[in-house]
C-alpha cells in the first residue's frame, strides 16, 4: 500500500528497534499456518532429494546468476542476459520443482495444504521441505540442478520475437543479492538496466499500473531484538521484477494459445474508480494531463512527498479483485491483469508458491507440442481456491506481525503527540503514518488526505495489537 510510500530507491526510513520478546509463532498458529511437515512428507523429500532428476538438455554453459534478498536459500530463478544481432536474449532458469514433486504424492498434498511459503521475522515456514526448497531443488551456486529454462528473444525495442521453453540441467555461477548489487550493477547483470528500462516503458504503454511503493518490514536486529522500517524498492529490484513479469506474460500467452492453464487475473480499473482518482488529483497537487492513463500519472509521482503518497494510497482502489482463473478449453472472458497490462501467469516462483509448479508443467507440455496430462488438468480448478486461502493466511500473518511490533514500540507512550501524514480518510476516521517512526495506524477523526497533522496516541496494546490515534491541536499544516 502507498501508506508506506515514504522512502525511495531501496532506501530505509525511520528504523526502530524493539527489544521486547515477541511471539510470532503464536501469530502463525492463530492464522492456521502449518509449521511441521508430517513424517511421510519428509521421507518422500529425502528420497527424491537423494536422486535428483537431470534432463538431457545441457545448459550448464550458460553463466546464470541468481538475484535475491540477502541470505535467501530458496532460489527459484537464475538469469543470463545477452545482446544479439537483433536485440536481446533473456535466459531464465526456474527451479524445476515438478521434477521432484509427483502429483498425488505426500509432498504434493502437503504443498496444496500450505499454498505458499510464509515469511516471518523469525524465519520462514516453507511450502516444501527444506531439503528441497533450500537444497536439492534450489538453484544454489555451483550446483548442478534441473530447471525449466525459458529463452526469450527480444528485438531492439524490447518486444518479444521468440520464446522457447524446455527442461534443462543448469549450474548457477553466483548468488547475488540486492544489497550488494546496489547501484553498481556487476558484469553478470550488465544488460539488466537497459532491458529493465525497456520493459518498464512497454508496461506503461500497455497501461500497466505499477505503484512500486515501499513496504513496512520487521527484521532481526544485530545483537538481538527486532527492527521495523519502511523499505523502498531499488532500481535493481524493479528491473529484475520486469524479467519475471516478462516470463509470466509469455507463459500466459502459451496457455491462452494452448487452451488450458491458470492465469493470475485482475480486472481492468473500474471507470468510476479512475474518475474518482482523476477528481482527487488536483486536490493533492498531482498533474493529470488530458489523454494520460492512471499508470502514466502514477509513474511521475514521488512517494516521498506526502500528497503524492496519499494519491498512491488512493490508487490502490484501481487494483482490486485479483485472483487466479483456471480454464480448460474456452479461455476466460477476462484473461488480463490490470496491474501488468495484459494476460499474465505465475510461473517463476515454484519453490515458494504452489500455483507456479502447475503453471510451469502446463507450459512445458504446451511448449513441447503436447497436451498436459489428465491428472495435471484435473488439479487446475482447485488452484484458485487453494491460493486464495493461502493468500488470506499470509496477509493475516503479515498484518498481525506489523501490528504487534507497532503496538510494542508505542506501549508506554499513550498521551504523547506525534507528527504524521494523512494517507486516506472517510467520514469517520483516517489512516496516518507517523513522520518520525515507522508506524502506520488508524486515527479516530476524519482528516484530509495528504496533509501533515499532529495526532495523539490513545491506545497502544501489544496484547490486542491495537494502535489508535486522535487529532491533536493544530490538525493540519501545509503539506510539502
Q: What percent of the chain has a predicted confidence (pLDDT) above 70?
A: 94
pLDDT attached to residue 477: 45
**Which comes out higher in pLDDT, residue 344 or 181?**
344
pLDDT for residue 221: 84
> CA 192, CA 195: separation in Å to the nearest integer?
5
Range 397-417 average pLDDT: 94
* Residue 291 and residue 207 in contact, taking contact as beta carbons nearer than 8 Å: no
**Is pLDDT of 202 > 50?**
yes
Binned at pLDDT 50, 70 and 90, residue 116 comes out as very high
Name the band, by pLDDT with cuts 50, 70 and 90, for residue 10: very low
Q: List Cβ neighbours of 187 (8 Å cut-off, separation of 6 or more).
A: none
Phi, psi dihedrals of residue 37, rounded to the nearest 5°:
-90, 140
| DSSP structure string for 156-201 | TTS-EEEEEEEEEEEE--EEEEHHHHTTS--GGGTTHHHHHHHHHH
Find cell 492453464 and name the residue. 261
* Lookup: cell for 426: 472517510
Whole-angstrom distance, CA of residue 283 vs CA of residue 449:
9
Lowest mean pLDDT among 29-43, 176-190, 195-209, 331-345: 176-190
Rounded to a whole number, what is the distance in angstroms from the first to the last CA of the chain? 21
Phi–psi pair at 366, nearest 5 degrees: -65, -40
Q: Please give the pLDDT value at position 119.
A: 94
User: Residue 54: its pLDDT value, please?
Assistant: 94
Q: What per-residue confidence (pLDDT) applies to 191?
A: 96
**For residues 272-282, average pLDDT:** 89
pLDDT band at 224 (very low <50, low <70, confident <90, very high): confident
CB under 8 Å to 243, separation ≥6 — which residues? 77, 79, 90, 92, 192, 195, 196, 199
Supply the pLDDT for residue 194.
Answer: 96
pTM exceeds cut of 0.75: yes
Split at pLDDT 50, 70, 90, the class of 182 is low
Please name the residue ranges forming H helices in 64-115: 106-114
Give CA–CA dist 354/103, Å, rounded.
12
Share of the chain above pLDDT 90, in %: 70
- Asked if the model's pLDDT at residue 13 lies above 70, the reply is no
Average pLDDT, the chain: 91
Encode pLDDT of 141-177 as tens digits.
999 999 999 999 999 999 999 999 999 999 999 999 9
Please state the separation of Cα 35 from the chain's center in Å: 22
3-state helix, strand, coil in the chain (%, to 5): 35, 30, 35
- Determine contact, residues 354/388, Cβ cutoff 8 Å: no
Domain range annotation of the chain: 20-267+324-403, 269-320, 411-471
Instruction: Give the CA angle between residues 193, 197, 198 to the nearest 5°.
Output: 120
For range 182-196, the mean pLDDT = 85
pLDDT for 9: 36
**CATH class of the domain at 411-471:** mainly beta
pLDDT reading at 5 higher than 60? no
Q: Please, what's the largest Cα pairwise distance for the chain? A: 72
Residue 183 — very low, low, confident or very high, per pLDDT cuts 50/70/90? low
What is the arithmetic mean of pLDDT over 417-445? 89
Backbone φ and ψ for 194, nearest 5 degrees, come out as -65, -50
pLDDT of residue 474: 54
Residue 351 banded pLDDT, cuts 50, 70, 90: very high
Rounded to whole angstroms, the Cα distance separating 204 from 297 reads 10
CA torsion, points 357, 361, 364, 365, in degrees to nearest 10?
Answer: -170
Question: In the numeric block, which cell numbers belong to residue 168?
Answer: 534443462
Q: Where are the beta strands (DSSP E) in 366-427?
A: 417-425
Q: What is the mean pLDDT of the segment spanning 112-125?
A: 95
- Binned at pLDDT 50, 70 and 90, residue 358 comes out as very high
Give dist(CA 77, CA 93) in Å, integer: 6
Render pLDDT for 319-338 as a digit per residue (tens, 0 to 9). Answer: 999 999 999 999 999 999 99
What's the whole-number mean pLDDT along residues 57-75? 94
Phi first, then psi: what are they for 75, rounded to 5°? -95, 105
Distance CA 456, CA 441 (A): 12
Amino acid at each position: 500500500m502507498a501508506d508506506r510510500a515514504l522512502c525511495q530507491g531501496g532506501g530505509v526510513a525511520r528504523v526502530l528497534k524493539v527489544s521486547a520478546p515477541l511471539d510470532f509463532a503464536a501469530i502463525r498458529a492463530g492464522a492456521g499456518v502449518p509449521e511441521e511437515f508430517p513424517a511421510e512428507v519428509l521421507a518422500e523429500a529425502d528420497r527424491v532429494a537423494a536422486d535428483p532428476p537431470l534432463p538431457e538438455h545441457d545448459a550448464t554453459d550458460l553463466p546464470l546468476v541468481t538475484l535475491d534478498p540477502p541470505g535467501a536459500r530458496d532460489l527459484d530463478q537464475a538469469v543470463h542476459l545477452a545482446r544479439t544481432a537483433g536485440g536481446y536474449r533473456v535466459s531464465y532458469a526456474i527451479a524445476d520443482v515438478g521434477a521432484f514433486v509427483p502429483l498425488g504424492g505426500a509432498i504434493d498434498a502437503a504443498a496444496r495444504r500450505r499454498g505458499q511459503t510464509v515469511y516471518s521475522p523469525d524465519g520462514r515456514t516453507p511450502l516444501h521441505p527444506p531439503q528441497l526448497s533450500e537444497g536439492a531443488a534450489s538453484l544454489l551456486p555451483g550446483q548442478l540442478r534441473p530447471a525449466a529454462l525459458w529463452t526469450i528473444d527480444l528485438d531492439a525495442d524490447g518486444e518479444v520475437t521468440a520464446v522457447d521453453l524446455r527442461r534443462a540441467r543448469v549450474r548457477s555461477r553466483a548468488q547475488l543479492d540486492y544489497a550488494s548489487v546496489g547501484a553498481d550493477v556487476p558484469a553478470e547483470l550488465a544488460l539488466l538496466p537497459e532491458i529493465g528500462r525497456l520493459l518498464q516503458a512497454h508496461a506503461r504503454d500497455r497501461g500497466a499500473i505499477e505503484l512500486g511503493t515501499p513496504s513496512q518490514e520487521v527484521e532481526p536486529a544485530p545483537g538481538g531484538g527486532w527492527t521495523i522500517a519502511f523499505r523502498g524498492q531499488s532500481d535493481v529490484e524493479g528491473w529484475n521484477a520486469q524479467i519475471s513479469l516478462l516470463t509470466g506474460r509469455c507463459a500466459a500467452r502459451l496457455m491462452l494459445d494452448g487452451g488450458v492453464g491458470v492465469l493470475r487475473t485482475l480486472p481492468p480499473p473500474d471507470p468510476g474508480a479512475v474518475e474518482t482518482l482523476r477528481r482527487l488529483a488536483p486536490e493533492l497537487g498531482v498533474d493529470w494531463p488530458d489523454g494520460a492513463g492512471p499508470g502514466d500519472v502514477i509513474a511521475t509521482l514521488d512517494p516521498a512527498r506526502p500528497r503524492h503518497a496519499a494519491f498512491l494510497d488512493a490508487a490502490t482502489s484501481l487494483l482490486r479483485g485479483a485472483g487466479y482463473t483456471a480454464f480448460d478449453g474456452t479461455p476466460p472472458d477476462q484473461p488480463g491483469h490490470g496491474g501488468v497490462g495484459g494476460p499474465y501467469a505465475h510461473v517463476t516462483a515454484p519453490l515458494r508458491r504452489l500455483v507456479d509448479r502447475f503453471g510451469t508443467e502446463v507450459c512445458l507440455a504446451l511448449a513441447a507440442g503436447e497436451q498436459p496430462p489428465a491428472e495435471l488438468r484435473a488439479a487446475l480448478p482447485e488452484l484458485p481456491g487453494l491460493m486464495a486461502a493461502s493468500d488470506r493466511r499470509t496477509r493475516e500473518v503479515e498484518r498481525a506481525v506489523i501490528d504487534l511490533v507497532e503496538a510494542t514500540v508505542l506501549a508506554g507512550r499513550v498521551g504523547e503527540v506525534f507528527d504524521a501524514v494523512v494517507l486516506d480518510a472517510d467520514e469517520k476516521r483516517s489512516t496516518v503514518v507517523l513522520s518520525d517512526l515507522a508506524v502506520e495506524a488508524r486515527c479516530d477523526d476524519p482528516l484530509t488526505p495528504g496533509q501533515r497533522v499532529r495526532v495523539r496516541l490513545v491506545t497502544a496494546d501489544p496484547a490486542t495489537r491495537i494502535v489508535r490515534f486522535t487529532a491533536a491541536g493544530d490538525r493540519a499544516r501545509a503539506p510539502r
